Amino acid sequence: MTEFFLTGAINILNYGQTLPEPDLITTGDLRLPKTAEQYGTGFVKIKNAYVTQGETTYEVMHIDDGSGEIGIDDDSDDMEGYVAPPVGTLIDSITGWVYHHYGSYADSTTYKLEPLNENDIVVGQGAPRLSENTATPIPPKSSETVDVSIKIETMRTVTDAKVYYRVNEGAYSNITLTEGANNVWSGTIPAQSNADFVDYFYSATDDSGDVSTSPEDTSLSNYSYLVLDGDPTIHDIQYTPWSAGNSPLDGASVHFSGTVTANSMPLISEWDGTMGILPIQSGSGIWNSIFVLDNAYNLAGMYDEGETVEVWGTVMENYDNYYKWTYNTYVKLDSMKSTGTGTAVVTEVTLAELSANPEAYEGVLINIAETVTVSSINSYDMTISDGTNTYLLDDDMVPDSLFSISSGTNAIINGDTILVGNTLRDITGISIYSFASHKIEIRNTSDIGKVHTDVNYVQTLPTNYTLHQNYPNPFNPSTNISFDLPELSDVTVIVYNVRGQLVKVLSSNKQYNAGSHSIHWNGMDKYGKKISTGVYLCRIIANDFIDVKKMVYLK
């Protein structure tokens, strides 16, 4: 954006004036940088577009009036919590300001439209819009039924509304919902046995035959809850069969015990001085750790690794106020007290196991005992590889004097200079989702066991550009794309379907050092949705080198 920096006060000359009518443009106008730039931070209006995609990592929805798809974002304060209409809904008109934000010129997603509030979005006829799921009580006891409700909005008539539920991942049953006030439809799920896991979703059909569900993509997530007659374990709070990773106790008040697995001081946010996190673990293995979230000054220096604690708080998902840690599961602290000392148990895991199910290891203190190779040094972290699988190793929790990363060049650990091609062994750390990626966060320099820097980096450089066949292939759910560079190169890696349509940009003109590199693709498309079974094409452009490999995704 072009910005204007103030050097003095602002004089307000008048207020309450009628704003000029915004320019009427097409969605395609915002896909062309030279066209979109003209409207930067100005107000525009788009008419007669359809919702083509629900919520993504950065946008609340995507729309298209036939001239090309664009993202609609919620960075205006009054748009917080907005729920998009279902895919296929007509947007009669939408007004907003144009923002150069979280996108790429490679796939024309650079510019977003930012409505000021929901009134800037005029919804026409379309499939029913489902929002505001509620369930009471959460968690229920074995003697209690659960009342569920969903808001269904449509300009047509709802002909059928149901909630589908299942117990312990068995067969689905359904209950017909009853309409109440303010478009809220309700039903009651029967009581279940103690420790039963219940997940459910809603379906609404209108008189045109259009069907909407909530959650929108039930292959990725369902609403869920756990039946409990007593206090939950950390495993109870964390476990879910759904890849979205949402806790079945989201919003519930909980009381549990565990052991601190990292000193609290390193985990205090350097970005946001008001909040900090602390990993608490019970035993070893997957699903057995949770992050507690509290004011940084309440955590700083108060709890040590190996200290046992008793915790009271509320389970929450997606701490949206702090992007660095969004999409982890937390317990927002009410209180915590020390109960003695214990042992911070380490879970042994291979890079293959960690890559296959990173959600299950969220917050867990892990150790990768195998030897791994530094395959790339990135802007803020470094990529390690076992030859097939890759993962990110991060330095956010230790001072730069102990572990620092120089973008694209090297890392320094305990005074050792680490280059691409060097090997590491016995890596220990906390598994976390940070800045939109799963990572291993090092707690101290002893978490890096053996560093081998005796690799003759110059002599082992590739002599040719090569795009290797992805591995595994066929793949499900993810695969690794490896390539060799004989010299410093600007690299673009893009996945297309067999019709030539762009599926995902994995690297956009990013600079890589000479050496062997690997990019992990999780099988999600550019909208964050799981791809369909079929053949895909991976295309690399590195300086003047261009190559393509076929990849097969099988469900």
pLDDT tens by residue, 18-57 = 888 899 999 999 998 778 888 988 999 999 898 988 888 7
Can you give the pLDDT at residue 270? 43
292, pLDDT greater than 70 = yes
Can you give the pLDDT at residue 458? 37
Please give the backbone phi and psi of residue 183, each rounded to the nearest 5 degrees, phi first.
65, 20
Q: Do residues 51 and 84 make contact, with C-beta atoms less than 8 angstroms apart? A: yes
**CA dist list (Å): 233 to 256, 280, 283, 318:** 6, 11, 11, 20
Can you give the pLDDT at residue 220? 80
Can you give the pLDDT at residue 144? 98
Residue 28: which region, alpha, beta or left (left: phi > 0; alpha: psi -120 to 50)? Answer: alpha
- Which contiguous run of DSSP H or E holds residue 313? strand 307-317
pLDDT tens by residue, 488-513 = 899 999 999 988 889 999 998 888 88
Mean pLDDT for the stretch of residues 337-355: 92
Count of CB atoms situated within 10 Å of the CB of 505: 18
In 3D space, the residue among 163, 95, 161, 173 whose CA is nearest the CA of residue 128 turns out to be 161
Can you give the pLDDT at residue 162? 98
Answer with the residue of higher pLDDT: 388 or 515. Answer: 388
Can you give the pLDDT at residue 407? 66
Q: Which of 328-332, 396-400, 480-484 has the highest mean pLDDT?
A: 328-332
- Which contiguous run of DSSP H or E holds residue 356? helix 351-356
Contacts of 375 (CB under 8 A, 6+ apart): 383, 384, 385, 390, 420, 515, 516, 517, 518
Please give the backbone phi and psi of residue 386, each rounded to the nearest 5 degrees, phi first.
-100, 15
State whether residue 34 is helix, strand or coil.
helix
In 3D space, the residue among 62, 45, 44 whose CA is nearest the CA of residue 53 turns out to be 62
Can you give the pLDDT at residue 269? 45
- Average confidence score pLDDT of the chain: 87
One-letter amino acid for residue 48 of the chain? N
Cα separation, 131 vs 215, whole angstroms: 9
Q: For residue 54, what are its two tokens?
A: 């629900």
Categorize the per-residue pLDDT at 456 as very low, low, confident or very high, splitting at 50, 70 and 90: very low
Q: Torsion over CA of 430, 393, 481 and 33, rounded to 10 degrees?
A: 110
Count of CB atoms situated within 10 Å of the CB of 131: 15
Contacts of 210 (CB under 8 A, 6+ apart): 86, 88, 126, 127, 128, 156
pTM: 0.67
Q: Torsion over CA of 180, 221, 76 and 124, rounded to 10 degrees?
A: -50
Answer with the residue of higher pLDDT: 452 or 536. Answer: 536
Can you give the pLDDT at residue 408? 67
Chain position carrying tokens 């009518």: 21
Which domains does the chain show, CATH number per domain? 23-123 (2.40.50.140), 129-226 (2.60.40.10), 234-341 (2.40.50.140), 347-452 (2.40.50), 466-553 (2.60.40.4070)
pLDDT tens by residue, 412-448 = 887 778 888 888 888 999 999 887 688 999 888 788 8
pLDDT tens by residue, 74-118 = 988 889 889 898 888 889 999 999 998 877 777 788 899 999 999
Burial class (CB in 10 A: 0-12, 13-18, 19+), 535: exposed
Can you give the pLDDT at residue 459? 37
Can you give the pLDDT at residue 8? 84
Can you give the pLDDT at residue 126? 77
Contacts of 12 (CB under 8 A, 6+ apart): none
